[in-house]
Amino acid sequence: MQNRQTPRLISIAAISLLLVMCILPASGLPGLNSSASPTPAPATRTPQPTETPIPSPSPYPTVSLDLNQRPLVWFAPLPPLPRNQWREYSGSQDFMALFTQDAPWTNAASHIQVFQLPGEWVASVASDVELRQVVADLNRRGLALAVETGALTPGPTCGQGLEGFDGIDTGRKIAARILKAGGVINLLVLDKPYYFGSLYAGSQACKWEASKIASDIAQFVQAVGIASPGMVTGDTEALTGLAYEKDYQAWLDTYRQVNGVNLGFLHLEVDWSRPTWPDSVKAVQSYGQQVGVPVGIIYSGDAVDQSDAAWLTNAGERIRKYELDSGVQPAQVIFQSRNDKPDFLLPETRPGTFTALIDAYFKDKSALGIQRTGPGANLALGRPVKVSGSLSGQPGAYAVDADPNTWWSAPRGPVEWIEIDLGAPYTIQAVNLLVSQFPPGKSIHKIIVKGPGNNNTYTAVYTFTGVTADGQRLSFTPAQPLKGIQFVRIQTLLSPAWVAWREIEVIAGQ
């Protein structure tokens, strides 16, 4: 395992890879069962190219990557993966279209230094043809190749089926397949080993000491690194209710003490429902800077988002909140999806695609997220609210904070209400409500408005009646825009749960 503190350039020399290829058979690494059949891909998977020949990858790819670059930018979209009981969706439909000569993401690609692949896709989903195409195109673009996988091996009584527990055999298989495709792993990303190996307390929890996890990682890295000289190893960890900044500060120290080197980087997968998440990320990033470990944040939408536009809007809001509102630039920026959305990555010129988000990030961060001015703007965003009552820790402001992971909750069931003061009379073209409700069931919600446009009297303009469920989106668009409205009240008359809303949007008209 190489010292990550001193050398900060990745340079994969031809002679090093030649020696590795002489040592390893084309079918795999020593000890790898090359006869194992890969998991079949789902029927909805992107078809393999059959007519267009795949260009031969460079046999000795060379990537020069300065890990001190700020920010170091990663792209990690989700490729098509098999559906199962834990993943009821597949990846982006046009994933393989990224890796063509004329793929329409030239501007976005020019800002990226690292492209990350899921270890599952590399190990058992991608065909040889697809892997050769990916490696050849990344080599052509000069992008470093990263793979994320679990370094820990499950025991007889724990770790089975958990993230972070893929094991050494899987790591060897991943390295062998990348090598066979003409590439090497430039950056190895460990998938939450400390969180799931030590902090996680649910089913199959191991609760191992941090020192054991660090030692097991060293063995994993040694096995995988045989096929990838110069590989830099870093870590992705979850910043959730079970894990706080102090936990990862201690983890960085333990890893260095056990292995004699720093992790090459630390990426944080944030629980967006924590209102103070920016402060937690800043604390970990500050400590990482002190000890020489660059800390990055994974920008993403939410698993419950029903459209690409919603997912990308939420991701944009997180960027604004951390980099503009908090005024902090992460050492590494990771554009990554582990969710059903976005379905489309291309083209970068069409709003609502993943590459368009990346392009917009470098053009004007202030334009990301929810529209704030002009027709179509969300007039309710950040405005003062009044409520009939609030549950402790869930104030009315959470319903207008542009974050679907926080919500206002009344301390009881119906009848309850929340009212938004838009600050001035506006023309309203729509009202959108994001439901917070468990269990699902029949509900009745009234939209009531007030302003000079209706003689400053409370007037019901629409009633939602029907079965609703958590995460459902309700929308009201009047036949004609409502003019001269300053106050919008949502009153719940019937619900199987305590009255609550994740988000309320009041959309400006012409």
Distance in angstroms (rounded) separating the CA atoms of residues 395 and 385:
9
Distance in angstroms (rounded) separating the CA atoms of residues 182 and 131:
9
Q: Give the closest residue to 79 by CA, choosing from 61, 70, 92, 66.
A: 92
Whether 168 and 153 have beta carbons less than 8 Å apart is answered as yes
Domains annotated for the chain, with CATH where assigned, are 17-82+90-367 (3.20.20.60), 385-508 (2.60.120.260)
Task: State whether residue 214 is helix, strand or coil.
Answer: helix
Q: Cα angle vertex 65, ends 59, 69, to 5°? A: 165
Whether 380 and 339 have beta carbons less than 8 Å apart is answered as no
pLDDT at position 1, please?
A: 38
Whether 38 and 124 have beta carbons less than 8 Å apart is answered as yes
pLDDT at position 61, please?
A: 55
| Structural tokens at position 151 | 């370094």
pLDDT at position 286, please?
A: 97
Q: What is the DSSP letter of 394?
A: B
Distance in angstroms (rounded) separating the CA atoms of residues 12 and 16:
7
From first to last of its 510 residues, the chain has per-residue pLDDT tens of 333 333 333 443 333 333 333 334 333 332 223 333 333 333 344 444 443 344 444 444 566 788 888 999 999 999 999 888 777 888 999 999 999 999 999 999 999 999 999 999 999 999 999 999 999 999 999 999 999 999 999 989 999 999 999 999 999 999 999 999 999 999 999 999 999 999 999 999 999 999 999 999 999 999 998 878 889 999 999 998 788 899 999 999 999 999 999 999 999 999 998 889 999 999 999 999 999 999 999 999 998 888 999 999 999 999 999 999 999 999 999 999 999 999 999 999 999 999 999 999 999 999 999 999 999 999 999 999 999 999 999 999 999 998 898 999 999 999 999 999 999 999 999 999 999 999 999 999 999 999 999 999 999 999 999 999 999 999 999 999 999 999 999 999 999 999 999 999 999 998
| 216 alpha carbon, distance to own chain's centre | 26
pLDDT at position 62, please?
A: 61
